[in-house]
Structure 1
Amino acid sequence: MFRLSNNLIGILNFVTFVLSVPIIVTGVWLSRQANSECERFLDKPIIAIGVFLVVVSLAGLIGACCRVSWLLWVYLVVMFLLIVLLFCFTIFAFVITNKGAGEAVSGRGYKEYRLGDYSNWLQKRVNNTKNWNKIKSCLQDSKVCQSLIDDGNNTLVLQFYQEQLTAIQSGCCKPPTECNFTYVTPTNWNIITTTSTNPDCTTWSNDPSTLCFNCQSCKAGLLDNIRSDWKKVSIINIVFLVILVIVYSIGCCAFRNNREDDAWKR
């Protein structure tokens, strides 16, 4: 009779194999349906993850159920490396998202964001011109400011000031409050001469395709959004790490069973 650990590893890897198929199909579908560089951004990583899961799950399934010790050994090595990498990434994510937060503005329902408040590593990523041009293109394609533009003519100034804008909307779709521009609509402001040293005041444009997408505040709003998402991902990673460690432990038991069976046959 198969040992319990071998059966468990076989079942877990069969489930993983089944789940990997729709992941690959999704990646292929994205690559064919994408109309822009932003939409094609995820297709290759998704396909790579799907193929990786297929290979690893087959190694674990065959190694445990067919008692092929070397395949199960490869499976355990890959699992160990995955655990180490995931642990390092989780620590890294916590460290770089530890800094930065929006600043409350008096009389405003939204917060404003400063690039210098975030970690140097994140700042370097968005300050790279090539990186930011791609990110900016994606933000424009996603139409993050479209709701403000659509409702702009009907939004009174006091009503706008109480809006609960997202970090990206606050940073990319309007000028900073310290510029003291006069409100016309959410994305249209009378530009006046200001004593503010904030470079975003001269970068702002009423052109709907430009707005504040070249501003430091837009980069800061994006980083705040990333910071929030990465913190959630880190929590999920911790749960996933616990599951991986349990599966790895079961795999070690299955590998030991294979070695014992091989020794008994000899």
Structure 2
Amino acid sequence: MAVSNNITAFLNFLAFMCSIPIIASGTWLASKADNECIHWLRWPVVFLGIAILLVSLTGFIGAYWRKESLLGVYLVCMAILIVLLLVFIVMAFVFTRPSGAYHVPGREYEEYRLDGFSSWLRDHITSSDNWVKIRACLADSGICPKLNQKYITVDQFYAGHLSPIESGCCKPPTLCGYQFVNPITWINPATPVADADCNLWNNDPGQLCYYCDSCKAGLLGNLRREWRKANVILIVTVVVLIWVYLIACSAYRNAQTESLFNKYKRGWA
């Protein structure tokens, strides 16, 4: 039992240490302008990291000091946490699977179509009720004006690697035929294209293309890219946690067996 408990204590210490980059990545996600504008998406990874930290600490104490009650609590909580992580990973993968991106000839950046993303993301994030607040938040974030400091000429801009939000919200769609002045100032085309977004573009820094479907698609593209990165950390974490959990189950079973054996031994003495 001592060997199993020591191994479990060591593995739970590793899980405890793994919670630190998870919390850090969650904090990074929460600091992103798009996640700041969608409040309910800001903190789930941080909460998962804190939960892993606390449960791993409980398992470490239970295994190292041979506290069967703590090991029991640890096993129940870790089972719940592993299930939640698996559900979260599957949902994040399914809802971010389509990218909605398409390449624009002569441009290094991509543009995005709203219908290229999952219906769940469109319905829960870019619905008219939610978009009013998100749009105002994005306009206040200062994402677009910063492009004027990065790109001076049209060649620099077309060769730039814009983020999905920068591509969708800070400029008109390429098919509209607007003429470049600077990254957030464009001249109306002589022959407007029959596309709703083309008529929604406005050089006012408070409006730009924040009313466009391309901006909504850009936001979803940003979320997809960031949450896919976070998903890699979660997948590695859940694999480690399952491994730790199986060994902890073995340690707990050994402890129960030894306790039962000692009880009968004392009874026969």
User: For this structure pair, what is the TM-score category when the shorter chain's length is used for normalisation?
Assistant: 0.7 to 0.9
CA contact (8 A) 2:37 2:138 kept: no
Paired AA for residue 244 in structure 1: L
Check 1:17–1:101 CA distance in 2 against 1; reply closer, same or farther (3 A cut).
Answer: closer
Assess, with a 3 A threshold, how the Cα gap between structure 1 residues 79 and 104 changes in structure 2: closer, same or farther: same
Letter in 2 for 1:38: E
Separation (CA, whole Å) in 2 of partners of 1:86 and 1:46: 10
Of residues 201, 217, 220, the one that matches 1:220 is 217
Report the RMSD for the aligned CA atoms in angstroms: 3.5
Question: What CA distance in whole angstroms lies between the structure 1 residues aligned with 2:260 and 2:97?
Answer: 52
- How does 1:15-30 map onto structure 2 within 5 Å? none
Q: Number of paired residues?
A: 256
- Tell me how far apart the structure 1 counterparts of residues 36 and 149 of structure 2 sit (CA, whole Å): 23
The 10-residue stretch of structure 1 (115-124 or 86-95) with the greater mean CA deviation from structure 2: 86-95
- Residues 98 and 40 (structure 1), Cα distance of their counterparts in 2 relative to 1, 3 Å cut: closer
For residues 44 and 227 of structure 1, do their structure 2 counterparts lie closer, same or farther at Cα, with a shift above 3 Å needed?
closer
The answer for unaligned runs of 5 or more in structure 1 is 28-36
CA contact (8 A) 1:76 1:251 kept: yes
Q: Which residue of 1 aligns with 2:179?
A: 182
What is the CA distance between 1:40 and its match in structure 2?
Answer: 11
Provide the TM-score with structure 2 as the length reference: 0.78
**3-state SS of paired residue (2:36):** coil
Q: Is 1:259 matched with 2:256?
A: yes
What's the CA shift for 1:96?
A: 2.0
User: Cα distance, 1:159 vs. partner?
Assistant: 4.0
Between the aligned partners of 1:77 and 1:20, the Cα distance in structure 2 is: 19
The one-letter amino acid of 1:88's match is V
Is the 2:177–2:192 Cα contact (8 Å) retained in structure 1? no
Assess, with a 3 A threshold, how the Cα gap between structure 1 residues 114 and 82 changes in structure 2: closer, same or farther.
same
Task: Give aligned-pair identity as a percent.
Answer: 45
Q: Which moved more, 1:11-20 or 1:81-90?
A: 11-20
Unaligned runs of 5+ in 2: 27-34, 264-269
The one-letter code sitting in structure 2 at the alignment partner of 1:200 is D
Structure 1 segments of 4+ aligned residues over 6 angstroms from their partners? 18-24
Q: Give the match for residue 74 of structure 2.
A: 75
How far did 1:134 drift?
4.2
Using the TM superposition, give the Cα deviation of residue 163 of structure 1 relative to its aligned residue in structure 2, in angstroms: 2.8
Q: Show the 5 A alignment for 1:97-246.
A: 97-150=96-149, 154-155=152-153, 157-192=154-189, 195-246=192-243
Q: Structure 1-normalised TM-score?
A: 0.79
Shift of 1:16: 5.3
SS in 2 for 1:11: helix
Change (3 A) 1:86 1:190: same
CA contact (8 A) 1:97 1:231 kept: yes
Whether the aligned pair in 2 keeps the contact of 1:3 and 1:257 (CA below 8 Å) is no
